[in-house]
């Protein structure tokens, strides 16, 4: 009887943790040009894709530049994957070092997500200014690392 109770508890713990495995990324970039504004928001380990998407969009739309917020689009939702954003410039201080190139990626692991985001950013950068770097943290959802 005790082993049956332990099995039920272990199974429900597994279900609970697997339920928190949905992520989303939203990006705001007026006229598809990061020099006119750029904002990104990601959420991971949400209970469902709709919740992750809703939170990402709500945060994105709260950009201090209304045009950037209005340009927000849901890039995608994901499960058991990682998301990375790369920029060329300083998102927090765009007057000192304006962002001229961006990239983002959803991938099975953090290394692949970072590599793909930097590659996309470098393609947009076209050799101008400094190389692209990862903006903020690489976030992983569910079982992804």
Q: Which residues in the chain belong to E strands, given as ranges? A: 22-28, 39-46, 72-78, 82-88, 101-107, 133-134, 139-140
pLDDT score recorded for residue 73: 97
Can you give the residue ranges of every domain in the chain? 17-140
pLDDT tens-digit map of 97-140:
678 899 999 999 999 999 999 999 999 999 887 889 999 999 99
pTM for the model stands at 0.80
Burial of 112 from C-beta contacts in 10 A (0-12 / 13-18 / 19+): middle
pLDDT band for position 1 (cuts 50, 70, 90): very low
């Amino acid at each position: 009887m005790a082993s049956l109770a332990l099995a039920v508890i272990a199974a429900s713990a597994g279900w609970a943790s697997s339920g928190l495995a949905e992520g989303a990324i939203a990006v705001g970039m007026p006229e598809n040009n990061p020099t006119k504004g750029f904002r990104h928001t990601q959420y991971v380990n949400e209970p469902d894709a709709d919740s992750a998407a809703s939170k990402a969009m709500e945060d994105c739309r709260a950009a201090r530049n209304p045009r950037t917020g209005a340009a927000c689009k849901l890039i995608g939702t994901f499960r058991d994957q990682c998301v990375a954003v790369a920029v060329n410039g300083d998102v927090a201080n765009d007057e000192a070092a304006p962002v001229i190139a961006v990239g983002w990626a959803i991938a099975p692991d953090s290394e692949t997500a970072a590599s793909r985001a930097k590659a996309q950013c470098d393609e947009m950068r076209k050799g101008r200014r400094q190389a692209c770097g990862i903006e903020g943290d690489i976030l992983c959802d569910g079982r992804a690392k």
